[in-house]
């Protein structure tokens, strides 16, 4: 049996036209309950106008991230028992992104920056060529593998104070994507990637505070990816090879 | 001057300064034994080509390093953007260099 | 909502930023006082006698601390960014440098 039969849940509500205002709800407490369950309970039982976003509920799709007690988290895999403080939790929209309404953040800037960081495939071959054989134990491949499980949830982007202070900064997820492609034997344009991450708001804006790596729900390490990009650009500057 | 060039200037000036800072801390620990006096400082530094070169390069490196660092802070914490920010940090760099050069000249000439 | 961020790397970042900012603000004063040596050594001496006051001594300790913290924090960043070492190797290297600095500085203070 839970210690208390109710949780006190404070939800930050608002949107572009109305500044965020806290609203408190009493939600039945259960032994096993995620933050997303709690938000859904409010929407289904207390206030149907509460806006939030989710899809898969199993930590695959990356759409349900929210701020929970000041930390960005994937709410579908965040157990209430792990984050509640004396039976209270505070939930808000992801930081560093515009709010569409209530808990739904506008992800456009986040995805625009993936493109700006050249987070796109530059093919080495056409569809008419044979598929390139990839050596799974090559060190390049290991570097790329380390970052490819990103689910685009924007937790790292919301955790980052450099993003908060510098609107041009591409952010950890986009830069990690650039690093995986830079290390991908099937990517033909490494110089374009390095150019894209060397401009305004590129990898050199990072201050290695590591909130991305600390809070990534998939336990990825964008900080090391960004350090890799810095090293690659410095090497290129000194005329060395990759 | 791109962000990348500023980054390289920041890191290279830091590399140059690292040994200077270690010597500077050592000299401070040595010099404050028995109190500081102008005569003691000037006796060590005046007419010395070594200390002129040492502090001269230190001042150049720190002017570059501090102005780029403050440019970042002006952007992230003071919300300055574009030309305002670049102009302000360039002025800071030049000002630090002018004051520093004057100080080096004062103690080594 | 108050943002939670106090993990070790974030603290290292804020320490590096604040120490750098503090040093940058102190530098103009430092240069200005030294430049008195050029035409008014007596005035420089007057400033230097201030360094005997306990409050100024404490401030000096603070400045040396800022400088040392910024130096080691900066070396940490340079190693992190430019040396292709693993994270534990970097931690050990930083600890070794800081430790040897402590030992050699203690020696220096005993020797003079």
Task: Determine contact, residues A69/A79, Cβ cutoff 8 Å.
Answer: no
Burial class of A212 by CB neighbour count within 10 A (0 to 12, 13 to 18, 19+): buried
The closest alpha carbon to A160, from C13, C73, B11, belongs to: C13
Which among A208, A214, A224 has CB closest to C7? A214
Residue A92 β-bridge partners: A67
**A59 & A112 share domain:** no
Residue C80 pLDDT: 87
Q: Which domain holds residue C46?
A: 9-111
Q: Give the total number of structural domains in chain B.
A: 1
**A23 & A98 share domain:** yes
> Where does a domain end: A50, A76, A105?
A105
Q: Looking at the domain assignment, is residue C3 inside a domain?
A: no
Task: Determine contact, residues A4/A28, Cβ cutoff 8 Å.
Answer: no
Q: Which chains touch B (3 or more CB pairs under 8 A)?
A: A, C
> Where does a domain end: A56, A74, A105?
A105
Residue A180 pLDDT: 97
Give the CATH number, domain containing residue C97: 1.20.1300.10
Mean pLDDT score, A201-219 = 96
CA–CA–CA angle C73, C76, C79 (5° rounding):
155
Q: What is the pTM of this model?
A: 0.91
Phi-psi region of A201 (alpha: psi -120 to 50; beta: other; left: phi over 0): left
Please state, in angstroms and rounded to a whole number, the distance separating the CA atoms of residues B84 and B82. 6
**A48 & A27 share domain:** yes
Mean pLDDT score, B87-96 = 97
Render pLDDT for A69-80 as a digit per residue (tens, 0 to 9): 999 999 999 999
Give the CATH number, domain containing residue A190: 1.10.1060.10
Token pair in block for residue A167: 């609107």
Residue A171 pLDDT: 98
Shortest distance, CA A176 to any CA of chain B (angstroms): 18
Q: Looking at the domain assignment, is residue C75 inside a domain?
A: yes
Q: Given pLDDT bands bounded at 50, 70 and 90, which one contains residue A51? A: very high
**A198–B2: do the CB atoms touch at under 8 Å?**
yes
| Choice between A119 and C108, residue whose per-residue pLDDT is larger | A119
Closest residue in B to A164 (Cα–Cα): B76
Residue C105 pLDDT: 76
Identify all chain B residues contacting A237, using CB atoms and an 8 Å cutoff. Answer: 4, 8
- Beta-sheet strand order (sheet of A6-13): A21-28, A6-13, A88-92, A65-68, A71-74
Please state, in angstroms and rounded to a whole number, the distance separating the CA atoms of residues A134 and A125. 14
Residue A2 pLDDT: 47
Q: Which long-range contacts (CB under 8 A, 24 or more apart) does B5-12 make?
A: B6/A204, B6/B68, B6/B71, B7/A204, B7/A230, B8/A234, B8/A237, B9/B64, B9/B68, B10/B64, B10/B65, B10/B68, B10/B69, B11/A234, B11/C78, B11/C81, B11/C82
Contact residues of C toward A, CB < 8 A: 1-5, 7, 9-10, 12-14, 16-17, 77, 80-82, 84, 87
| Residue A172: pLDDT over 70 | yes
Mean pLDDT score, A164-174 = 96
Mean pLDDT score, B93-104 = 96
Q: How many A×B Cβ pairs under 8 Å?
A: 29
Task: State the pairing for strand pair A6-13/A21-28.
Answer: antiparallel
Render pLDDT for C18-36 as a digit per residue (tens, 0 to 9): 999 999 999 999 999 888 7
Which among C1, C12, C80 has CB closest to A67? C1
Shortest distance, CA C88 to any CA of chain B (angstroms): 22
The closest alpha carbon to A169, from A152, A150, A153, A156, belongs to: A156
Which among A71, A210, A231 has CB closest to C81? A231
**A116 & A198 share domain:** yes
Select from C81, C90, C91 the residue whose CB has the most chain A CBs within 10 Å, as the one to mutate to test that interface.
C81
Shortest distance, CA C10 to any CA of chain B (angstroms): 16
Q: Looking at the domain assignment, is residue A242 inside a domain?
A: no
Identify all chain C residues contacting A95, using CB atoms and an 8 Å cutoff. Answer: 3
Number of neighbouring beta carbons within 10 Å of residue A238: 7
Q: Given pLDDT bands bounded at 50, 70 and 90, which one contains residue A1? A: very low
**A125 & A158 share domain:** yes
**A60 & A159 share domain:** no
- Among A159-168, A226-235, B70-79, C102-111, the range scoring the smallest mean pLDDT is C102-111
Q: Give the total number of structural domains in chain C.
A: 1
Q: Which domain holds residue A34?
A: 6-105
Q: Which A-chain residues 143-182 have CB contacts (< 8 A) with chain C? A: 159, 161
Residue C111 pLDDT: 65
Q: Given pLDDT bands bounded at 50, 70 and 90, which one contains residue B36? A: confident
Helix ranges (DSSP H) in chain B? 3-31, 38-45, 49-77, 82-108
Q: Which domain holds residue B16?
A: 3-108
Percent above pLDDT 90 for chain B: 72
Q: Looking at the domain assignment, is residue A1 inside a domain?
A: no
**A231–C84: do the CB atoms touch at under 8 Å?**
yes
The closest alpha carbon to A91, from A122, A140, A133, A51, belongs to: A51
């Amino acid at each position: 049996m839970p210690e208390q039969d109710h949780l006190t849940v404070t939800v930050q509500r608002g949107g572009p036209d109305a500044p965020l205002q806290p609203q408190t709800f009493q939600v039945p407490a259960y032994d096993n309950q995620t933050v997303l369950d709690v938000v859904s309970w409010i929407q289904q039982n207390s206030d149907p106008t509460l806006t939030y976003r989710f899809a898969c509920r199993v930590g695959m799709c990356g759409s349900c991230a929210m701020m929970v007690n000041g930390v960005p988290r994937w709410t579908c895999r965040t157990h209430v028992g792990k984050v509640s403080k004396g039976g209270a939790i505070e939930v808000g929209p992801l930081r560093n992104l515009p709010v569409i309404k209530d808990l739904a953040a506008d992800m456009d800037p986040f995805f625009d920056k993936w493109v700006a960081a050249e987070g796109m495939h530059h093919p080495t071959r056409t569809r008419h060529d044979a598929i390139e054989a990839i050596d799974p134990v090559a060190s390049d491949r290991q570097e790329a593998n380390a970052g490819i499980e990103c689910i685009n949830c924007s937790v790292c982007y919301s955790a980052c104070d450099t993003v908060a202070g510098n609107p041009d900064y591409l952010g950890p997820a986009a830069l990690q994507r650039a690093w995986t492609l830079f290390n991908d034997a099937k990517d033909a344009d490494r110089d374009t990637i390095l150019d894209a991450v060397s401009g305004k708001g590129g990898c050199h804006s990072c201050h290695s505070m590591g909130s991305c790596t600390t809070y990534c729900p998939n336990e990825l390490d964008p900080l090391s990816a960004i350090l890799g990009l810095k090293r690659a650009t410095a090497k290129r500057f000194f005329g060395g090879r990759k | 001057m791109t962000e990348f060039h500023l980054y390289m200037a920041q890191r290279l000036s830091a590399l140059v300064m690292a040994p200077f800072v270690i010597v500077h801390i050592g000299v401070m620990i040595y010099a404050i034994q028995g109190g500081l006096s102008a005569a003691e400082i000037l006796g060590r530094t005046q007419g010395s080509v070594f200390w002129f070169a040492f502090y001269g390069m230190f001042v150049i490196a720190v002017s570059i390093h501090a102005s780029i660092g403050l440019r970042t802070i002006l952007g992230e914490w003071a919300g300055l953007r574009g030309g305002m920010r670049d102009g302000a940090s360039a002025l800071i760099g030049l000002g630090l260099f002018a004051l520093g050069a004057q100080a080096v000249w004062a103690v080594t000439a | 909502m108050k943002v939670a961020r106090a993990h070790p790397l974030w603290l290292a970042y804020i320490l590096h930023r604040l120490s750098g900012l503090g040093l940058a603000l102190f530098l103009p004063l430092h240069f200005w006082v030294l430049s008195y040596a050029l035409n008014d050594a007596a005035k420089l001496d007057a400033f230097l006698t201030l360094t005997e006051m306990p409050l100024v001594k404490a401030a000096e300790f603070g400045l040396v601390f800022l400088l040392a913290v910024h130096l080691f924090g900066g070396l940490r960043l340079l190693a992190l960014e430019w040396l292709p070492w693993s994270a534990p190797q970097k931690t050990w290297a930083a600890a070794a440098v800081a430790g040897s600095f402590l030992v050699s500085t203690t020696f220096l203070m005993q020797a003079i």
